[in-house]
Structure 1
C-alpha cells in the first residue's frame, strides 16, 4: 500500500513539473510578441513623422490631405461646374397622326350607268390618266348610235337632192320658166337639209359621248386604293364611289398638334415620318398647316407630304419629328436641371463660391442635353450634377468641367 502511494505521489510531482515548463514557454512567447509590437509601433511613428514632413514640403499633398480632412470633418465640398455658353439648338416637335392619301380621289359612274361587264383593276395597282377601270354593258346605246348614224345619211341624201333641184332652177330662171321666188324657196330647202345633216351629226356625237361615259376611267394617274364594284353589279350615278385612288401615289401624315406647336410650323419645313411597327423612317415636308383649331381639343393638323412607299398605308398610324428651325440657347446635361413644385431650376455658383438657385424654362430635350430657353445667359457657372445634395447659400469649392 505504501509503495503504490509513493508511486502515485511521484507521478503527481512529475505532472506538476510539466505544467511549470509549459507556462514558462508561454511567457517567453508573450515577451517576444510584446517586443515585436513595440518595434512595430516605433516604425509607424517614424513613418508618420517623415510623412508629415514630406506633406508639409509638397503643397499638392498638403492640399489633398486638407481636402480629405475637410471631407471627413464636414467642411467645404467640391462640386463640378459647367459654363454652357450658347449654341444653335435644333427645335424638334414630336407629333402623331394618321396616314392618308394626299389627294384621295373617289371614282364613280359619270354617265347613266348600267350593268358592269368587266372590272379591270385591283387595289394596289398603278393606273394612268384616262385608263379604263371598269366596263358597263352598252348594247342599247350602241344601237341608238347606229340609228343616228343612219339618220345622218338620210339627211345628207335630202341635202344633195335639194342642192340638185336648186341647180336646175337656177339654170331655168334665165329663160323665164322659173320665177325668182321658186329659186329662193329651193335655196331655203337646200339650207334646211344641210341643217338637218348637222343636227343628225350632233345627235350621233352626243350618243357616242354617252357610250364613252359608260366606261369608268381614272381621272388622273395614281394608285388604286380601294375597289367597291364587281362584275354583274348594276350601277348608276347614285351608286357612290366604285374606286378610290391616290393621285400620283402621294401620301401624307395628318399630324395632330397643339395650338402652341402649330404656331411654330410653316409650310416647307422638313419632317421625318415613322410608321408604327416599323424601324424605317421616311423624309417628307409640311405642305399645309391647318388654318383653324378644333375648339374641343385645341389642336390642329399639319399635313406632311411623303413619297409613296409600300409601308405607308392609308389609315395607318405614324409618328413624326418636325424640325421647326433652330434657336440660340444654352445647352445643359440633364443631370444639371432639377424640378420641384415651383418648376425647373438649376444651381449656380456665384463669385463668392456660394450656391444660388436659378429658375429656368426648358426647351428641346435631345441626346445632346436640355436647351434652356430662359433663365440663363450661358456665362454662369452651373452645377453639373449632385445638385440635390446642395442648399442655396452653401459654400463650395467649384471645379470646372467641360461643357457638352
Structure 2
C-alpha cells in the first residue's frame, strides 16, 4: 500500500507548492515620512516697547534770578503743595540791591519836591511878569524830568522787590518732586532747571521708538498698555505726542502714551509695556528649506487632508536668514513640507510628522 501511495502523493505535493508560489503577493510600498510645518507670520503682528509711567504735566522749575543756593527744603520723591517753598538763594545781594533802589526812590522824591517848589515859584513870578517865559519853561522842564525820574526809580524798586521774592523757589502746583538737580552751595544761573515736579492728575507712559520704524507711527494712533504690576489687565491708549527730534545719545524718538480711560491705577515710575499693532497686513513665512524652484517659479509642497502632496506656486518676498515671506499662494491653515522637496512627486502620499518626529493628524487639526 505504501509503495502505491508514494507515486500519487509526489505529484500532488509539487502541484500545491507551485500553486502557493503563484499566489504570493507583491511586496508592499512604504509611505515616506515628511516633516510638515504651518506658515507663521513673517514678523510680529504687534510690536511691544517698554516704558515708564510719568505725569502728563512735568514742569521744570528754575530760579528767575541767579545766585548761590543757601537752602534746599525738599527731597526727590517728596510730595509738595502749590506755592510751597522748595529752595532759597542767598538773599544778601538782592537785599542790597533793594536797599540801593529804595535810596534812589527817596533821592528822586526829594529832587521832585525841590523842582516842584522851584516851578511853583517861577510860575508866580511869571504871572507877575517878573521873569521871562524861557525861565519859567526851564523850571517846568526840570519838574517834568524830576517827575519822570521818580516813576523810573519806583519801577526799579518794584523790580528789585520782585527779585527779592524770586530768591525763593516755589512749587507751581500740587505734585511730587520727580527730579532734583541742585545742592546747597551750588551757584545757579537764571532759568537753570533745579527741580522737576510731576503734577497730580493724568498719568502717561513714556516710551522710546526706534528711528528705523518711526515713520509708521502717528499722533492719535491706538495702542494697548500693560502695567507690570497688573499683568492681567490691559488699558486702551493712544499716542499723544511724538518727539520731533531723536535723542542724540540713544538715537530714539520719545513718545508719550495717554490712557483713554479717565483714571488708571498707575503710579509714577511704574514699569509698563506698550503694544502697537501693525497697520498693514503681516505676510506669512515658511522655512527656506521648504521652498523649491523650477524655471524661475518658486513653489512649495502642500499636504492635503488625505496626506497627499500638491505642488503650489508661491510669490516670495525678501529672503531672511532662516525664513522667507510668502506673499501669495498659502493660507495660515495650510501644511507644507519643511524639507526634502526635491525628492517628492505630485500626488504622492506621505506620513506627516513634526520636528520631534511625532505623527501629525492633519484632519484633526483642520
Confirm or deny a common fold (TM above 0.5): yes
Deviation at 1:101, TM superposition (A): 6.8
Q: How does 1:89-238 map to 2 (within 5 A)?
A: 91-96=45-50, 106-120=60-74, 122-125=76-79, 128=82, 132-218=85-171, 223-229=176-182, 233-238=184-189
Q: How does 1:238-253 map to 2 (within 5 A)?
A: 238=189, 241-246=193-198, 250-253=203-206
What secondary structure, in the 3-state scheme, does the structure 1 residue paired with 2:238 have?
A: strand
Q: Which residue of 2 aligns with 1:268?
A: 220
What secondary structure, in the 3-state scheme, does the structure 2 residue paired with 1:268 have?
A: coil
Matched, 1:339 2:287: yes
Change (3 A) 1:155 1:258: closer
Deviation at 1:201, TM superposition (A): 0.9
- Which digits, 9 at most, give the CA deviation of each residue in 1:243-269, with x for residues without a partner? 23346775433334473x444333322
On the 8 A contact 1:282/1:306 being kept in 2, the answer is: no
On the 8 A contact 1:145/1:207 being kept in 2, the answer is: yes
Distance 1:324 1:158 in 2: 77
TM-score, scaled to structure 2: 0.59
Distance 2:118 2:196 in 1: 60
Aligned length: 300
Deviation at 1:159, TM superposition (A): 1.7
What's the C-alpha RMSD, in Å, of the aligned pairs? 5.1
Change (3 A) 1:168 1:97: closer
Deviation at 1:377, TM superposition (A): 6.5
Deviation at 1:211, TM superposition (A): 1.3
Change (3 A) 1:170 1:293: closer
Deviation at 1:204, TM superposition (A): 0.6
- Which digits, 9 at most, give the CA deviation of each residue in 1:204-246, with x for residues without a partner? 123123213212244677542122445xx22322596432334
Distance 1:165 1:258 in 2: 76
Match of 2:334 among 360, 374, 382: 382
Distance 2:245 2:300 in 1: 35
Change (3 A) 1:126 1:176: closer
Gaps spanning 5+ residues in structure 1: where?
A: 1-72, 78-83, 85-89, 331-336, 363-371
Change (3 A) 1:253 1:381: closer
Change (3 A) 1:272 1:241: same
TM-score, scaled to structure 1: 0.55
Q: Which residue of 1 aligns with 2:310?
A: 355
Q: Between Structure 1 and Structure 2, whose CA radius of gyration is higher? A: 1
Change (3 A) 1:154 1:244: same
Change (3 A) 1:321 1:360: farther
What secondary structure, in the 3-state scheme, does the structure 2 residue paired with 1:382 have?
A: coil
Gaps spanning 5+ residues in structure 2: where?
A: 1-27, 33-38, 292-298, 318-324, 352-360
